[in-house]
A and B are shown apart, each in its own frame.
Chain A
Amino acid sequence: MQQTLFKFITIETKRQQIFLICLTLLSFPLLYALLNIPKIIINDALGGKHFPKEYSGFHLDQINYLFILSIIFFILVLLNGTLKFFMNYSQGKTTEFASYVLREQIFHDIIKFRLSHFQRYSSSELIHIMATEVEPIGNFVGESIALPFRQGGTLLTLLLFVFIQDIYMGLAAISLYPLQVYLVPIFQRKMNILTRKRSHAQHQFGEKIQEASEGIIDIKSYALQNRFTQIYDNEAKNLFEIKSNFFKEKYLLKFFNNIIGNIVPFLFYAIGGYFVIKGHLSLGALVSILAAHKDLQEPWIELLDYYQRLDDTKIRYENLKRKLNVPPESQIPTQPSIQNEPTDLSKTVLVGKNLYFSIMKGNPIVEAASFTLKPFEKTAIVSSSGEGKGVFTQLLAGLHYPDAGELYISNHTFLSEPEKLLGNEIHFVDREAYIFSGSIKENLLLPYAAAHEHREPSKEKIIEIIQKLNLQKDFEYIGLTKLFSNLTDSTKNEIIQLRQTFKKYIIEQYGDTMIDFYENKKFNQNLSLFENLTFGLAIHTYSIEEVEKYVKKLLRQVGLLDIFLKIGYDIAQTMFDMFADLSPNHPFLEEFSLIKAPELKDYKKIIENYPNIILEDQSKLLSLCFRFTPARHRVTNISESIQEKIVLFREEFKAFFNEEHPDEFLYYDEKEYNPLLPIWNNIIFGKMIYGLAAGQSKIDIIIQNILEKSTLKSCLLELALDYNVGLGGRNISRTQRQLIGIARAFLSPAQLIVLDKATIVLDVAHQRIILDYVLSKDFKKGVIWSVHESQMAKRFDTVLLFKDGRVLEQGNFKELLEFDGAFKKLYDQEQNLGVIHVA
């Protein structure tokens, strides 16, 4: 960001501002001409005498003269309008450009903050800065040069015009300006104070909302809603008072300006009228002066407003600058200290000498820590809780910069390396790794987005790590149950084959007691009537209501309306039998009834009037009947003849819908893969019999068995790698997110992996698997692992005990126990507490 607002304007938007000034300059002569021509028309064309006039050989009589002048006036109006359009457009564009540049600069700045500095900002604060605070600054930048130039110029042009007509009139026009120039800054100072207060109050207000949002569980569990409403009210009230005071000052000033502005015409009428009567001034000139004065008001008020906005924006810019200010000691080097090849970790040491580090000034977390590590070995860091081990671990990963002391690997000093270089050599895994929106594969290969010189790992390597972390079952399940659009034809064919194998197997083993298969010519008891009628799925751009409309229309056309109205009536009647004497807000209605509480009244009327019901009510009855699933609700029987009619209807609906929307409804076709269903559903291709106890897991086992013999299994893993995990990985589980975070580090080009209690959110089985893998010979990277229980450190090469801000003890597990110091004490304590052992 530039130092001051005007530096920003003149440096970042220089080209735009010059263009705007040029446009503005063009507008002045036009404006002058627009004022002058009416005067010529009144004085010369209407009131003039010496006709015909001669212009470069043309003779013009009075009428022609008037017309030509009018036409010139008209052309000037058009030109002026066009010019105004361009000025407004360019100004708007400049505004947006300024916001864009400012946002870009701010984002570039904050993303490079040191971690400890960055963590001082909450995400809501950053969003507020990027989204809200930049906006008014951008708005001002657009007008910053052009407005005073244009309005000032307009004002001068108009005044010039008035002065040329009559010097006294000119003096009258500006007579009250000094008063305003005196008054405005007084008001402005008051408003500036309020602006600062407002900024502070808004910040407080935002903090309170953030607190309520983040602490909502505790607020609800301790029933603190009222207390927080009170706090919120106080902050909101404070903000309201500041803002209303601001508006009071603003409109008080406007009031004075308006009064003053209206005194001047009085002077014009009195003095100007006197001059006209005395013959010092022509009537045309007075009319023009009055017109000019009307126009004078606007630029003058605009200028005064501009002055206010200028002050306001200066404060905003300063605030923003102050908020994003990075003290020099917190700045990050951008150039590597030594340009050399990446270090071979096996031949070097990681040294810390007298390290100091604090997040909050005066509250050091690391104090005089000294140690020497072999980064290619497996090192465990152990401490009791509350010692700041996490921060110490982050420091070793190069995420923080020590306040004092030295920290280096071979000749890379952490203090002077840019983050990028360290990021390529050391990879850090947090307690809860962040997973970004995008595919699983993109997340796994994220480190390579910064390390271009390294080749991405092969597919086999990725799958190997996935298997090592025991993720393949999870991934296969993702592949089975999520939707993918990128299946090859051979995969689709295989799925159809598996569908047949599965069906054969189920029918042999269970007959028709497990799955109600989708068969084109058979009514499906476990699908709703709507699904039975349409027998397929619409692509996602259609809502169910839209498709329902088509079904209803066609039912009417083919004469099935009465049959379905009767079914709907029977259902409604049964629902009323069961639920009618419950209170309207009874939970049963919401949970079980096909007719929800708000609809009860409507359906009651429909039942009473049946079968004489209006079109709208027919539609309601049909909707009710559509929701009915025979096997689930069992309130009425669908006779075989109706079932046949429904099956026949499917074909008609297909033709009917396809006519208007070809390829937008995918029918359940036994011989086709349905891309709107996940692979799991494509294989079973039917509905599980309603109420089948543990049905899902029984079917899962059968599908797993079938998959074992198929090549689709490996395909599932690859599909899962393409699965989009959503913002923050919210489409996958917490365990999966963390495992992907760990896998990402293992796959990264970094030679040293630093883990901060990275397995604590996982189940014990996974914790053990990962620990075993990391400590095995297969694992070719160096590891520094801040373990969450001392027992885990057993098989590590080196153990560091971090206590009171320093490395108190160092050695292997056995040595430290024998040493009988703080580590032994901690270990014994944990043993007595009965910690579950992972090591």
Chain B
Amino acid sequence: MLLEDDVNLLKTIPLFSKIEPNKLKLIAFTGERLIFKKGDVIFNKGEEGQTIMIILEGEANVLLPTQKHVEPIAIVKKGEIIGEIATLCNIPRTMTLIARTDSIFLSLTKELFLKLIREIPDLAVQIIHDLAKRLANTIEQFEAKIALHGDNNVS
């Protein structure tokens, strides 16, 4: 319930792990704490994704709209971050997110997030680091796929 608790949680997230507590407090304080009830739609695929969501409590199902009532393709849990790439690159949501339990999210609008990056240079470094790592991973996977199929029919 207290700001301190959110800060402690943020500390466990790799993206925020190297940022000083005061700045984490600023992030927790300026972000909007949103409470979702089980079954609430957090966002829909195709919506303009202008916020970054951090799960502070609870779990959420990741769905593709064509399979709305079947099993989720993934479950996201406490401590995970959703939508930072979509928000930074201005692309619409690529999936639908529905609260699996009653949950609390910390929502950072794009505008706020950019301001925070400007205030907290460590955060920017962490994001670059994070994105570079993901890019490397993707390339690795991609190459593995090409090696496996031996042709260009990669979808």
Contacts and interface: CB of A to CB of B under 8 A. Distances in A.
A8 interface: no
Nearest to A631: B1
Interface stretch (B29-37, B87-95, B143-151): B29-37
A833 interface: no
Given A577-B22, A578-B25, A634-B2, A592 B35 contact: no
Contacts of A591: 30
Interface residues of B, number: 21
A691 interface: yes
A690 B33 contact: yes
A733 interface: no
Contacts of B30: 588, 591-592
A648 interface: no
A570 to B, nearest CB: 11
Nearest to A577: B22
B40 A578 contact: no
Contacts of A635: 2-3, 29
B29 A582 contact: no
A524 to B, nearest CB: 14
Given A513-B102, A588-B115, A692 B22 contact: no
Contacts of B2: 634-637
Interface residues of A, number: 23
A73 interface: no
Main secondary structure of the interface of B (DSSP, over half): mixed
A831 interface: no
A635 B1 CA distance: 10
Given A574-B3, A588-B115, A691 B25 contact: no
B71 interface: no
A513 B22 contact: no
Interface string B79-121: 0000000000000000000000010100000000001000100
A578 B29 contact: yes
Interface in B105-143: 115, 119
Contact of A694 (B33, B40, B104): B40
Interface in A673-711: 689-694
Contact of B36 (A633, A690, A693): A693
A587 interface: yes
B5 to A, nearest CB: 8
Contacts of A692: 34-35
Contacts of B13: none
Nearest to A698: B37
B26 interface: yes
Contacts of B102: 513
Interface string B1-32: 11100100000000000000010011001101
Contacts of B33: 690-691
Contacts of B37: 510, 513, 693
Contacts of A634: 1-3, 6, 29
Nearest to A591: B30
A636 B26 CA distance: 14
Contact of A691 (B29, B32, B40): B32
A637 B1 CA distance: 9
A799 B35 CA distance: 57
A604 B26 CA distance: 18
A28 interface: no
Interface string A567-593: 000000010011100100001100110
A513 B3 contact: no
Contacts of B6: 634
A513 B38 CA distance: 12
Contact of B35 (A579, A633, A691): A691
Contacts of A631: 1
A574 B30 CA distance: 13
B20 to A, nearest CB: 10
Contact of A592 (B1, B3, B29, B34): B29
* Ranked 7 nearest A-B pairs via Cβ: A691-B33, A634-B3, A578-B26, A693-B34, A692-B35, A577-B22, A691-B35
Interface of B: 1-3, 6, 22, 25-26, 29-30, 32-37, 40, 42, 102, 104, 115, 119
6 contacts: A578-B25, A631-B1, A634-B29, A690-B33, A692-B34, A693-B37
